[in-house]
Homo-oligomer: A and B are copies of this chain.
């Protein structure tokens, strides 16, 4: 694999100019980031408090006063609990509040800010971010430990519940932010915080020390990133250690639990690993072959595993990554690029169980899938990986945020009837409208950080080749065989599918490779060089000089899509896609009872593309031929079957990402076919 390994370009080398995506990135900068800063500081009326800044300040005060660990909050055994102020009383100055993993909210915000600053300097924003960095620095204990929950409630309990208490998860997000901050500003301050906490962790769980691994993964990929940034081998070693310990027996999670049970005089558990599927700690990572458990964690773990395979050439790890990839995308992924078929454990369900209405499909899990896909692409540039990355980004990730950037979905169903999910406890996880902020606010800042770092998903490069994965208009500074060139990528994926790449400056010899999207198998690309199609990429090799161009056309054909017959839930149903966009029908355009619509996928000639303005944004819409089952008057609950009476209708479809921006109503991605 080694000769194909590619790396994303430095974020500052990719300047996004695409009208659609620039708007999204601007939205993050102008609406989401300021809003989230207010949220982190509990300044949003009516929203669940974050407690992030409160907890940081309280920890900093306790540390300064050398009075760490008031110890008044009980050490809970799962991560689902929230500490709130006593009813009717103000929060205690030295109290910890919110979820145990609350520290991570601020780290994710900071990471997104760093990306934004990289792309577009902004002194005021940087000042605000510096405030956050300084707050974090002050909340770090002398030995490098950094976790406000334990600093405030009892440091003696630190590292006793890696399974559920998210210390290593918070460390992972801190590290991601620290590297991004360093790359944005050149400043080491946050990087040093991460390093000091990292050494504190390595002291306890590093190679040769106590066995332990994160209950919620992310530290693995963050550590590989820290290693890549600093070149310090200790971070690779710690990441490897976490991967190696995971899923082996005696299970470290069971041992932790047993220490607690023993203290309480209770019966200890067997130390086998199989109980820990939810945490992907049920078997050694190199033996994994099915995406299981909490979907976000599974995607983050797979991303870390792919980093390990890439950075160490670990073949067994590569094979495991490929098996997890196939399990995810061939058996467990929604057509929208969402993953997680069940709300029970926010988890992957069994293969081909992809219910539309009870879907979990957490925004963060689709983001995790994009992380994983980018890393698989780095390992091997196959169009398949980029297809999935694009599917997740253009559909579920974007759907997670309202078009005005002010409200968010955590769960992304493919079918919604507001009357059902507002009254039915079985659907209590499905919200019919986006929410302003969540107590567990993982998704909004996660959208902010992936959209802000979009440049790292557009292209990757090897020594002698530049791979263009996503057709997002941008100016790209690449290096081929040591020589720098600047290219301009223009692409229209809302209408024509036309792509133009032109060399703006520089001269270099090497390959520029363009992905042939899975949705445009009859697409073509031309340049003065001959092209060679391999692994779904047109490879153009030669000398590139200012003025050289590649033009490509990827027909934006409307496609009716069917799921495998093994997917029981969508049997006999069809959905529509065009280019990277998955479409859906909304009540606003098609009336109530969307289940009575019947699509007619054979009548391709009648499909029409159009445009629709939704909350100020013009989106590509579709009109497809269909029928509507008519309701005779006084129809009994059960009656002898007769061919359903239908009336001809035109079904209006809009891109999935834009749904629920015109008030509450029914929505369906999959339509019954005639």
Contact = CB atoms under 8 A, between A and B. Distances in A.
B331 A643 contact: no
Contacts of A425: 342, 344
Contacts of A350: 419-420, 423-424
A342 B564 contact: no
Contacts of A504: none
Contacts of A419: 350
A639 B561 contact: yes
7 contacts: A330-B636, A331-B637, A342-B425, A344-B424, A350-B420, A559-B641, A572-B672
Interface in A563-595: 563-568, 571-572, 574, 593, 595
A637 B563 contact: yes
A484 B596 CA distance: 56
Contacts of A566: 593, 631, 635
A254 to B, nearest CB: 21
Contacts of A571: 595-596, 629, 672
A358 interface: yes
Contact of A636 (B420, B564, B595): B564
A642 B349 contact: no
Interface string A322-338: 00000001110101000
A523 B396 CA distance: 57
Nearest to A642: B562
A529 B642 CA distance: 37
Interface in A314-373: 329-331, 333, 335, 342-344, 349-350, 353, 358
Given A419-B350, A636-B564, A641 B333 contact: no
A424 B672 CA distance: 25
A432 interface: no
Interface of A: 329-331, 333, 335, 342-344, 349-350, 353, 358, 417, 419-420, 423-426, 559-568, 571-572, 574, 593, 595-596, 601-602, 629, 631, 635-644, 672-673
A208 B593 CA distance: 51
A333 B637 CA distance: 8
Number of copies of this kind of chain in the complex? 2
B644 A424 contact: no
B574 A595 contact: no
Given A342-B424, A565-B635, A641 B353 contact: no
A350 B417 CA distance: 12
Contact of A565 (B344, B353, B629): B629
Contacts of A673: 641
Contacts of A335: 638
6 A-B pairs with the lowest CB-CB distances in the bound complex, closest first? A560-B641, A562-B641, A344-B425, A568-B595, A601-B641, A571-B595
A381 B631 CA distance: 30
A559 B638 CA distance: 11
A353 B422 CA distance: 14
Nearest to A595: B568
Contacts of A568: 417, 595
Given A568-B595, A571-B596, A358 B426 contact: yes
Contact of A640 (B353, B559, B629, B639): B559
A417 B641 CA distance: 26
A644 B559 CA distance: 16
A568 B568 CA distance: 15
Given A419-B350, A672-B572, A637 B330 contact: yes
A565 B636 contact: no
A385 to B, nearest CB: 15
A559 B344 CA distance: 39
A562 B631 contact: no
Given A559-B640, A564-B637, A565-B593, 17 more contacts: A330-B637, A331-B637, A342-B424, A343-B426, A559-B641, A561-B639, A561-B640, A562-B639, A562-B641, A564-B638, A564-B639, A565-B644, A566-B593, A566-B635, A571-B595, A601-B641, A602-B643
A561 B672 contact: no
Contacts of A424: 342, 344, 349-350, 353
A604 to B, nearest CB: 10
B638 A562 contact: yes
A420 B568 CA distance: 11
Contacts of A596: 565, 571
A417 B571 CA distance: 15
A670 to B, nearest CB: 11
Contact of A638 (B563, B602, B636, B637): B563
